[in-house]
Amino acid sequence: MPELPEVQRAVDIVNRVGAGKQISDIQTFEDSIVFAGVTHLDFASEVKGRTFRKAHRYGKVFYLELEGKGRMPVLHFGMTGMIQIKGESAVYYREGPKDTSTDVWPPRYVKFILHLTDPISDSVCELAFLDARRLAHIRLCASPMTEPPISELGFDPLLSMPRPEDFVPLVRKRSCPIKALLLDQSFSAGVGNWVADEILYHSRIHPEQRCHTLSDAQLEALYFNIVNVCQIAVSVDANHELFPDDFLFKHRWGKGKKAKPTLKLPSGELATIKWITVGGRTSAYIEELQLLPSPALQEDTNPETSVRI
């Protein structure tokens, strides 16, 4: 699933090709699941003819700020959503899907195509929104930041990280596993599966450790790494090949007997990557570095569930 860094990459692409251009035309393709609360025809009617100012991201959601009367497109990629510019490859997660091509237009799984006209050169760029599994959402909102889905999200690690003194009680009042809390978008907007695992690895926290058992040192590390991991990933345009060698992301993809671990411990020995299910998602962690406290310390004295949105 595209997470904060991948969505920021998409926003940067949209701004690069579209800022200041007019939506001279728009093609939409019927999909009553992906178009949420608006038909594809009404979406096209409300967007066409307006000038695109800038794309903005909050968590895993982004929206297009448009001039003129009407609501703004608010977009969520779901599991397999992506942006593709005509003549360029679609970029998604670790690699582009096998069945997209720069030679085929409109691309497969397309939901809409914006025709963006430069007011000076009159040149036209085409920008497509794709989704193979139909778990994305396309909405129109009058005030994106104050309406759902954005208004229901928690803090964004790069845009609205709380102060440390406010962050600590937000975590300590919960008794669910810390990985489940990080996946809860009403807590930390934009943090998904791989980002959460990366944060916990660098913080040396086991994904199953209960929030209320975290020490002051662990909470300090967690606070730092929520921001740091996102900043590093965004700084390299979410290109996993440019992630630091000590990022778990670069080593976590092999499972089973054929897997060849390459991540090294501080001692220089090879690390042992383990996988468990936490918060409904497969979680990778380093056995030697992310230790789970004893059952007595993990006792759930204040049961509370955490919902992943």
Catalytic residues: 2-3, 60
Distance between first and last Cα of the chain: 12
> How far is the C-alpha of 62 from the C-alpha of 47, rounded, in Å?
16
- In angstroms, the CA 114 to CA 108 distance is 15
- Cα 5 from Cα 94, distance rounded (Å): 12
Q: Could you give phi then psi for residue 46, rounded to 5 degrees?
A: -80, -20
Lookup: tokens for 42: 């009404």
Q: Locate tokens 């590390």: which residue? A: 221
Residue for token digits 């199953």?
Answer: 208
153 by Cβ neighbours in 10 Å (0-12 / 13-18 / 19+) ranks as buried
Cα-to-chain-centroid distance, residue 24? 30
**Among 277, 249, 251, which residue's Cα sits nearest to residue 264?**
251
Look at the alpha carbons of 50, 55, 167, 93 in this order and tell me if their dihedral is positive or negative: positive
Q: Do the strands 72-76 and 61-66 form a parallel or antiparallel pair, or are they unpaired?
A: antiparallel
In the numeric block, the tokens 């695992």 are attached to 197
Q: Using CA atoms of 26, 31, 36, 37 in order, give the dihedral in degrees to the nearest 10.
A: 80
Token pair belonging to 282: 């497969």
From residue 46, alpha-carbon distances to 51, 58, 68, 204 in Å are 12, 23, 10, 49
**Residue in the block written with tokens 């990778």:** 284
